[in-house]
Structure 1
């Protein structure tokens, strides 16, 4: 890279047309200006000016170097302008959360994008471990997870609580023999079913459930599309456990029933980003939308 100090001297020399005036502008001596030009010529490998007593003419290489120096100044000014301007309603935001939350949040994020079309929102449904990995590698900017991560690697904010629900077909009569009922129905399995089921049993405070062995429950079906998990339950083919946000988005909730507990089972939602990473202003707008709607989940 050509020395920027010598380039600056060269530009002022070309603009003024005089070594003496260049020296005055830069608070240098005239021999100092001449030295800068000689060093620039040596560094570039070409003569940049053709000297004629006290005047000079640019060589063809000199014209190219002069334009290059002007472009550098213009590019630097443009960069500084972009750095100083952080538009909260423009740019790309990549987010990730569970499939259940994605079903609930995506329409609201789309509404935000309709209001601000230059704000590009990309939402991915993924499990906790994938979200954390992709935040670390820079694929995802912001995530919502349900397990407290390593706070040495991530900045973490508790953003809300979400209820976990055990969902049954509406035509099933739920009674105190919940353990027998679940064994008879079988589990509609999905990628997070084992995690949700273990949390549900552990926190339900129902003795018949806390002592139930997950491995003894037969699997009566499997689907990995969050929008389809409740369909086999609605058809009486089994039960499952999902966050309430997934149930709220189901088109025919009258075909389902939620097992009633004395104490609802709740999971904490954490907003995470890479440790000490400063996100652009547009993320404050997005986070305000997330907090607004996750607060509804919390209540």
Structure 2
């Protein structure tokens, strides 16, 4: 195994570009830096071509520099794993559907502003990508609309998310024929959500497949734009509607009963959540529940 101090000296030498600056940077003597490089060259062969005011790497030197970078990255990963007890520093990684993600992202940013040592990494994705992202350890936390049964995952209820039938404010919607006339704006989860909601609202109707489709987009923030322009209706979770910037141009069509999707929190079962992940889950659940209570009170008023 190569001496870590030799590797640090070599990487710093290439970064600084000269033995003098490297020695000053590492608080070593120039002779010590030269000795470290000499020890490496005794093991690996020539690493540098020394020219006036320039150091040129040999093929072996390039390979060693890549190795130094890999060692540094591994060292950072180890420090990150060893600091998982720290709830004020480190990465928060969450993958979730875009609808609830629109509501959660500002909450995560508020948490980061309160704790500047945190780093927020959030991705919007459908259920399949959510499961893959958590199982492959690319994200510590995930939210899914379908409850997974993979034994490698711990699954718990996060919240309920009401689905809403949303139409242009200019349209009058009293029955199935009105929806047929207006047309449907589809999105990646559109048909599944619409089937769940419309089967409750119109149990005798032939289903979403019988309605004309007037558009499709996979960008969660844009789904309501064609609705606002009078081009069709759609079905979305309430959080997506609340995030829309022109609420005066759309309307929610009330039905005979509330239709909700359960959102499931998932993470790997083989190891415990980091302390910061536990803080995030606790904070987000409290804020989402508070938001739900306020929305319920507004609807009753």
Aligned to 1:194: 191
Conserved 8 A contact 1:226-1:246? yes
TM-score, length basis structure 2: 0.68
Instruction: Name which one, 1 or 2, has greater alpha-carbon Rg.
Output: 1
Which piece of structure 1 moves more, 111-120 or 211-220? 211-220
Structure 1 residue 126: Cα displacement: 0.3
Secondary structure of 1:278 counterpart: coil
Structure 1 residue 218: Cα displacement: 1.0
Aligned to 2:220: 226
Distance 1:186 1:209 in 2: 19
Conserved 8 A contact 2:176-2:205? no
Conserved 8 A contact 1:179-1:209? no
The answer on 1:149 being equivalent to 2:143 is no
Shift of the 194–84 alpha-carbon distance from structure 1 to 2, 3 Å rule, reads closer
Aligned to 1:179: 176
Structure 1 residue 115: Cα displacement: 1.3
Distance 1:173 1:254 in 2: 15
Mark the runs of 5 or more structure 2 residues left unpaired by the alignment.
2-77, 294-301
Structure 1 residue 298: Cα displacement: 4.4
Aligned to 1:296: 290
**Counterparts of 1:48-59 in structure 2 under 5 Å?**
none
Aligned to 2:243: 249
Conserved 8 A contact 1:162-1:297? no
Structure 1 residue 84: Cα displacement: 7.7
Secondary structure of 1:160 counterpart: strand
Structure 1 residue 151: Cα displacement: 4.8
Conserved 8 A contact 1:201-1:210? no
Secondary structure of 1:279 counterpart: coil
**Counterparts of 1:1-299 in structure 2 under 5 Å?**
83=82, 86-175=85-174, 178-202=175-199, 204=200, 206=201, 208-209=202-203, 211-296=205-290, 298-299=292-293
Structure 1 residue 85: Cα displacement: 7.5
Distance 2:87 2:252 in 1: 41
Secondary structure of 2:139 counterpart: coil
Conserved 8 A contact 1:187-1:238? yes
Conserved 8 A contact 1:169-1:233? yes
1:71-109, CA deviations, whole angstroms, 9 ceiling, x for partnerless residues?
Answer: xxxxxxxx89x8487211111121011111111111110
Aligned to 2:68: none
Mark the runs of 5 or more structure 1 residues left unpaired by the alignment.
2-78
